Amino acid sequence: MKKIISTVLALSLTVGTMATATACGKDGDKFVVWTFTNELKEMIEDYYQDSVSDNTEFDIQVIGVNDLDTKLSSAWRAKKNLPDIVAIEEKYIAKYAESGMFLDIEDMLKADNEMYDYTLDAARDTQGKVMAYAWQSTPGALYYRTDMASEILGVNSPEEMQAMVSNWEDFLNVAQTLKNANTEHFSDVRILSDVAAPARAFYSERNASWVVDGKLSIESQLYDGEYSLYEIIKTLQVGNGTWGEEEDPFINETTERQTAWFTDMSQDKVFSYLLPSYSLHFDLKKYAENSTTGTTTAGKWAVCQGPSTYSDGGTWLGVIKTSKKAEKAKELIEYFTMNEDFLRAWANDKGDFMNNKSLMSEFANDATKSESFLGGQNHYKVFHQVAEQVRGNNRTPYDSKINAMFSEWAINYAKVENVSKSSAKADALAGFIEGVAAPYGSKIDTDITLPNL
């Protein structure tokens, strides 16, 4: 019996060592890529490898966004088991840009003048050096229903629509009109599906980030004023009702990316969505057809800039410092972010919005480009406009958490939950500030006073 145990142990150790031996052997061979979508995989296999003649073997691992973060951080800490290049999502780009994990990409490969500024700004480290490049740009705009616009608002083109929603005041007026509508096909139409949608736009349009000179900075347009984020969310949530008593919302009370939010795309309750460029393909086109009734809203949509200019999401490519294949990595990144043939091919095949101003401008002015889902509109026009205005220098690594906290308290304010009505705004802001202090108090000075409260 003892013999059996010792053999088992010996076997496991041998297997272990053999496995590691093979693992070590593999180290030098393949070019390792870690990413969180299948896009990069497809880009390498179907586009890049066809364009070059070398036989580099690629090892592409697709890992979920949050898990990628865990795996990458752990690997970096141990300085082993690292990839050569990695694709980072918007949520993490600030963190990794400042981590010292990437090679200074500007040194290696100068960016052409075609990249939208915000994509470069978003990937700068604390010294201001760019650490990663993006091949796509993800500006956001307002996708709206043309049939509702025409029947209720008397609007017949995206330009006319834009004139009606070019600022938040007008936007809320339209919300009111839609709510009170009672026309042949539509009644009680909500302008948005989820109430937190405007938040993204506000965060993206700030002059500076959440942290200025080490202090928490809450810009006044977020809470102070009739068309601040707080008030807009409140107006949308309360609608025709009375604040703190009953709600008759201008929105459809869904939560982003949950079933009801998707259902709204295929029905006649919601008028518009604030979404980024890629949502056209990933969300709207997929869910426009109602799988129960079989009806579809395709062709009844158009896009206009809306009351804001913002961006949401995006993917950046960085080279890990310990990579022994920096040359190859540079080649790859150059191909994906600056090679016009690739950018054009990918944009034509996928309808994606690329990080190249001239190309996007060309697309925008191309009269033959039309998207049947949008009733024949060339959406590049709108997105190109937005992309040029988006800010990239107002981000921090804490953004995803702090943004979520701010939105949650804004909603608390609107619904008078977790706050007392008489001091709702102050309570909500206090709740937010304390919420930030708890994890980040050592990094961000939260002892601030807000004017005009």
Partner 1 sequence: MALFAKKRKLNYGIYGFIFVLPFFVVFLIFQLYPILYSIILSFTNYQGFMDVKDATFTFSQYTDLIVNPRFLQSIVNTFIIWMINFVPQVVVSFLFAALFTSVNLKMKGAGVFKIVYYLPNIVTAASVAVLFKNLFNYPDGIIDKLFKAMGVFSDPTYNIVRDAWGTRILISFIQFWRYFGYTLLILAAAMMGINPTYYEAATIDGASKVKSFFSITLPLLRPIVLYTLITSLVGGLQMFEIPYLICDGGPMMAGGRWATETISVYIYHMAFEGGYTNDYALASAASVYLFLIVLVFSFITFKFFGDQAFGLEKKEKQPKKSKEKEDV
Partner 2 sequence: MKKKNVTARKGLWGMGVKDWIWFVICVLLAFMCLFPLWLMLSNSTRTTIQIQQIGGAESLLFSTHFFDNVASLLNKGFDIFGGFFNSLFIAITSTVLCVYFSALTAYGFVGYQFIGKKVLFAVLMATMLIPGQLGMIGWYQLVVDLGMYDSWTPLILPSIASATTVFFLKQYLETTYSKDLVEAARIDGAKEFYTFNTIILPISAPALATQAIFSFVYAWNNYLPPLMILNSSSKYTLPIWIHQLNADTHEVDFGALYAGLVITVFPLVVVYLVFSRFIVSGIALGGVKE
Residue 364 as a binder of partner 2 (CB under 8 A): the answer is no
Cα 2 to the center of its chain, rounded Å? 59
Among 6, 7, 29, 80, the residue binding partner 2 under the rule CB under 8 A is 80
Among 119, 235, 396, 403, the residue binding partner 1 under the rule CB under 8 A is 396
Helices 326-338 and 340-350, axial angle in degrees (round to 10): 60
Residue 256 as a binder of partner 1 (CB under 8 A): the answer is no
**Contacted entry of partner 1, partner 2, none for residue 298, CB cut-off 5 to 8 Å set by kind:** none
In angstroms, give the least distance from the CB of 268 to partner 2. Answer: 15
Report the DSSP beta bridge partners of residue 100. none
**Contacted entry of partner 2, partner 1, none for residue 266, CB cut-off 5 to 8 Å set by kind:** partner 2
Size of the site for partner 2 (CB under 8 A): 46
Residue 196 as a binder of partner 2 (CB under 8 A): the answer is no
Q: Is the separation of the CB atoms in 124 and 130 below 8 Å?
A: yes
Among 1, 3, 4, 5, the residue binding partner 1 under the rule CB under 8 A is 5
Encoded one letter per residue, x for contact with partner 2 by CB under 8 A and - for no contact, window 38-57 reads x-------------------
Closest CA to 237 of 181, 192, 200: 192
- Burial (CB count <10 Å: 0-12, 13-18, 19+), residue 420: exposed
In angstroms, give the least distance from the CB of 398 to partner 1. Answer: 4
Q: Which CA distances in Å does 107 have to 175, 322, 356?
A: 49, 16, 20
**Contacted entry of partner 2, partner 1, none for residue 431, CB cut-off 5 to 8 Å set by kind:** partner 1
Report the DSSP beta bridge partners of residue 211. 216
In angstroms, give the least distance from the CB of 37 to partner 2. Answer: 5
Which is closer to partner 1, CB of 324 or CB of 443? 443
Residue 8 as a binder of partner 2 (CB under 8 A): the answer is yes
Structure tokens belonging to residue 424 = 């709702």
> Which residues from 415-434 bind partner 1, rule CB under 8 A?
417-419, 427, 430-431, 434
Can you tell me the distance from the alpha carbon of 280 to that of 147, in angstroms, rounded to the nearest whole number? 18
Residue 2 as a binder of partner 2 (CB under 8 A): the answer is yes
Q: Is the separation of the CB atoms in 400 and 65 below 8 Å?
A: no
What are the residues whose beta carbons fall under 8 Å from the beta carbon of 415, sequence distance 6 or more? 237, 247
In angstroms, give the least distance from the CB of 438 to partner 2. Answer: 19
Residue 58 as a binder of partner 2 (CB under 8 A): the answer is no
Looking only at the bridges linking them, the beta strands covering 251-254 and 192-194 are parallel
Instruction: Please choose, out of 214-222, 254-262, 295-303, 425-433, the segment that lies near partner 2 by the rule CB under 8 A.
Output: 254-262
Q: Is the separation of the CB atoms in 389 and 315 below 8 Å?
A: no
Q: Which CA distances in Å does 348 have to 40, 103, 226, 340, 366?
A: 16, 31, 43, 12, 12
SS3 call for 172: helix
Residue 70 as a binder of partner 2 (CB under 8 A): the answer is yes
Plot region of 239 (φ>0 → left; ψ -120 to 50 → alpha; else → beta): left
Residue 294 as a binder of partner 2 (CB under 8 A): the answer is no
Residue 104 as a binder of partner 1 (CB under 8 A): the answer is no
Closest CA to 113 of 317, 383, 355: 355
For the chain, first and last CA: distance in Å?
78
Among 16, 100, 241, 376, the residue binding partner 1 under the rule CB under 8 A is 100
Can you tell me the distance from the alpha carbon of 402 to that of 30, in angstroms, rounded to the nearest whole number? 39
Instruction: Please choose, out of 92-100, 104-112, 257-265, 383-391, the segment that lies near partner 2 by the rule CB under 8 A.
Output: 257-265
Instruction: Please choose, out of 78-86, 179-187, 205-213, 235-243, the segment that lies near partner 2 by the rule CB under 8 A.
Output: 78-86
In one-letter notation, the amino acid at residue 342 is F
In angstroms, give the least distance from the CB of 94 to partner 1. Answer: 8
What are the residues whose beta carbons fall under 8 Å from the beta carbon of 283, sequence distance 6 or more? 262, 265, 275
Residue 413 as a binder of partner 1 (CB under 8 A): the answer is no
Q: Would you tell me how many other CB atoms lie within 10 Å of the CB of residue 198?
A: 24
Give the footprint of partner 2 on this chain (CB under 8 A). 1-2, 8, 12-13, 15-16, 19-20, 23-24, 26, 32, 36-38, 59, 61-65, 67, 70-71, 74, 77-78, 80-81, 258-260, 262-263, 266, 278-279, 282-283, 286-287, 289-292
Contact set with partner 1 (CB under 8 A):
5, 69-70, 73, 76-77, 94-95, 98-101, 247, 253-255, 258-260, 263, 396-399, 401, 405, 408-409, 412, 417-419, 427, 430-431, 434-440, 442-443
